[in-house]
Structure 1
Amino acid sequence: MSAPGSDREAGAFLRHGGRLAAARGAFPDAPAPWLDLSTGINPRPYPARRADPAALRRLPDPEEVAALEAAAAAAFGVSPDRVAATPGTEAALRALPRVLGARSAAIVSPTYGGHAEAWRLAGARVSHGPWDEARHSAAEAVVLVNPNNPDGAQVRGPDVSDRWLIVDEAFVETVPELSVAPRLFSSPVTTGEGGGRRAGRTVVLRSFGKFYGLPGVRLGFVIAEPGLAGRIGAQFGDWPVSAEAIAAGLAAYTDDAWRERTRLRLARDAARLDALLGANGFEVLGGTSLFRLAAAPDAGRRFEALARRGVLTRPFPDQPTWLRFGLPKPKDWPRLKAALEGSRR
């Protein structure tokens, strides 16, 4: 794929989405404001209340964090003693290699590159491959993003033999029935399919910012056996999340009606985006209802053509025919349509 601007700028686009500063530098003549479709973030965020000013003038109380974890646990369908709040899923996945102590990890790929990077930085041997290959590998830990980013691939009831299984469910709010957490962690004493041994070797990661459209809040969760959840949570000290994260999470996780309405709306918008991409020369390969993965033989040229029109998408270093598109805001559909039509020329 041809890359815009300097190698440093191109690397920013290829690493992950949301690099608007690099886009502005590489395409200074693009119309503003930019339409950032490079991430899988809900473009219509939850209308979360802000933290009380008094809460910003003190450190969060442990009871407030516990209340947040209980609200999240209820939304996840798990026992509160299995949940630990973290300052974002990214921070949690970076801590896992250190806490688990595994010396090798099999990453179900292609997927989000932060997992492999975290394990490599911890000195672990890292391998990549499809689910069937990873689950039968000799690695001490298997990492699965479910549903996967960027292709939306799903694994129903993932299981491995007596090794660590890390399931990153950052996008599972769009398909809640896919989550392994309720099956393994729904009560203080693990029962049913999977049993205590499997639960004891499984860690589930959940994200707040993507589905609720508030990534700047920096809120995530780990779900695991109580002792392990506590060890992971302890990596972030006595105040793992901010007053703003507590306020937003408490409101959002108790709003069942908003969650259900949003799932339906996202599904409709994803179908609309599929139709628009298909009408403009892209083949939709998959994704979730928060993002769509599409292919075109000239994806590199079209990335640049869209960027010149102020529309940022997500290219991939090892897949030059791929682009990932997030959902636009309601007012931005006409602009996206015009940009896609113009990029064909």
Structure 2
Amino acid sequence: MLEHGGNLRDAALRFGRDDWLDLSTGINPHWYPVPALAGNAWHRLPEADPALARAAAEYYDAPLMLPVAGTQAAIQALPRLRPPSRVVVAAPSYAEHAHHWGRHGHSMRQVPYAELDAALPACDVMVVCNPNNPTGATVPPQQLLGWAAQLAARGGWLVVDEAFGDTARDASVAAHSGQTGLIVLRSVGKFFGLAGVRLGFVAAQPALLNELADLLGPWTVSGPAQEIALAALRDRAWQSAMRRQLGDSGARLHRLLAEHHIDSSGCALFQWWPEPRAEQFWQHMAERGIWVRLFQQAARGIRLGLPPDAAGWQRLEVALTEWTKEAA
């Protein structure tokens, strides 16, 4: 299995402490307040609730959406719905995409974001995270739609992973997901801070969604997850307030890093930078009980999520100050 953020058990095994400040995931530390659930949510088989798909389509501004057990389920299944194809996965990005396209008979290669346009004529499927995880870079919607049209003309797909798209709504192409060959993935785990419910959505043409649903089988999303997500997707007041809060917090994190001579990029939920001394920075933070995401493969760098409270911000600032002094 690939390594991901949020692996605090690994942190505890390596460094032997239990007071971790987990900044390794980019998940909103202020999760949606889960409502009380109906008693039978735990009892009944979780047949798909049409209200959930409608609420998701309205929230994400998409024509049609299929609920899945986290976008991870779709990432693992989509490569199985195509014959052997030439696949380009933008790099660096969420590693599960390249991992699964490479396992199902496809010819897969990873291409830097700046070279995607040039790579388009030689592929049948292109996979792009937008905003990108881990760098936060975005591709303009019109460029994505142009790529999708070119791929669709030869029976191809453009898969756009918008898991971090809730705070960058103008960059979304979900509204256009009814067009042939465009597949958009969304998640309630990041913005809503509900990674534990394992719920995401796929927007695409009806025929492709039917194929995906058949492959995934019945009861893919638990009853409690459906109830919780339905409340979160309908709560416009919470969503608006949280977007403002995360925008302020993301800007604060960017400023804090800049004060310590770190030139970072990212989105409202995390910051990333190519760190020449990435392993040393990761070690420095871990020794102080701060768990950050170390990238060593496609891009050597560090990703930092948002602290949850004033104590967390103070703890991060102290650790950064000590790092700056040591590096001087």
CA contact under 8 A between 1:309 and 1:339: conserved in structure 2? yes
Q: TM-score, normalised by structure 1?
A: 0.86
Aligned to 1:313: 292
1:58 maps to: 44
Q: Does 1:134 align with 2:134?
A: no
Selected match of 1:288 from 236, 243, 267: 267
State whether residues 23 and 291 of structure 2, in contact with CA within 8 Å, keep that contact through their aligned partners in structure 1: yes
SS in structure 1 opposite 2:185? strand
In 2: Cα distance, 1:25 partner to 1:76 partner = 40
Q: What is the alpha-carbon distance in structure 2 between the residues aligned to residue 132 and residue 301 of structure 1? A: 29
Does residue 174 of structure 1 match 2:167? yes
| 1:114-158 CA-partner distances (Å, limit 9, x unpaired) | 100010111211112134633424121010111111111111120
Q: Is the 8 A contact 1:282 1:295 kept in 2?
A: no
> Which residue of structure 1 lines up, in the alignment, with residue 237 of structure 2?
257
SS of equivalent to 1:57: coil
Where does residue 217 of structure 1 map in the other structure?
A: 197
The corresponding residue for 1:298 is 277
Percent of matched pairs sharing the same residue: 38
Separation in 2, partners of 1:318, 1:242 = 35
Q: Is residue 43–residue 329 contact of structure 1 (8 Å, CA) maintained in 2?
A: yes
Structure 2 match to 1:97: 79
User: Conserved in 1, the CA contact under 8 Å of 2:5 and 2:25?
Assistant: yes
Give the distance between the partners of 2:108 and 2:44, measured in 1 at CA: 42
Contact 2:92 / 2:299 at 8 angstroms: preserved in 1?
Answer: no
Alignment partners' CA distance in 2, 1:141 and 1:73: 24
1:55-94 matched pairs, under 5 angstroms: 55-62=41-48, 64=49, 66-79=50-63, 82-94=64-76
Give the letter for the 1:27 counterpart.
F
Structure 1 residue ranges without an equivalent (≥5): 1-10, 186-198
Contact persistence 1:281–1:296 (CA under 8 A): no
Match of 1:274 among 244, 248, 254: 254
* AA at the equivalent of 1:222: V
The equivalent residue for 1:192 is: none
Q: TM (normalized to structure 2)?
A: 0.90
Question: Per-residue deviation at 1:320?
Answer: 7.2
2 CA distance for matches of 1:55 and 1:273? 39
Aligned mates of 2:211, 2:41 — CA distance in 1: 26
Note if 1:203 corresponds to 2:189.
no
Measure the CA separation in 2 of the matches of 1:116 and 1:306: 29
**Alpha-carbon spacing, 1:263–1:125, altered in 2? closer, same or farther (3 Å):** same
Q: Quote how far apart the aligned CAs of 1:275 are.
A: 1.5
The residue aligned with 1:232 is 212
User: What's the CA shift for 1:333?
Assistant: 1.0
CA separation in 1, counterparts of 2:299 and 2:110?
A: 19
Letter in 2 for 1:143: V
Displacement, 1:290? 0.7
State whether structure 2 residue 301 is matched by structure 1 residue 322.
yes
For structure 2, the residue ranges without an aligned partner over 5 or more in a row are none
* Change over 3 Å in CA distance of 1:121–1:34 after alignment to 2: same
Structure 1, residues 9-66: CA drift from partner, whole Å, max 9, x if none? Answer: xx97xx32111111111111x4x3201101010000111214322220111233x2x1
Q: In the aligned structure 2, how far is the partner of 1:252 from the partner of 1:102?
A: 39
TM-superposed CA distance for 1:299, in Å, is: 2.6
44-53 or 210-219, larger mean C-alpha shift:
44-53
Q: Distance in 1 between matches of 2:259 and 2:41?
A: 50
**Per-residue Cα deviation, 1:155-200 (whole angstroms, up to 9, x for no partner):** 1120321221111111110111111111343xxxxxxxxxxxxx12
Select between 318-327 and 68-77 the one with higher mean Cα deviation.
Answer: 318-327
CA distance in 1, matches of 2:299, 2:85: 32
Work out the CA distance in 2 between the residues paired with 1:243 and 1:319. 38
Residue 297 of structure 1 and its aligned partner are, at CA, apart by 3.2
Pairwise CA RMSD of aligned residues?
1.8
Aligned length: 313
Question: Deviation at 1:324?
Answer: 0.4
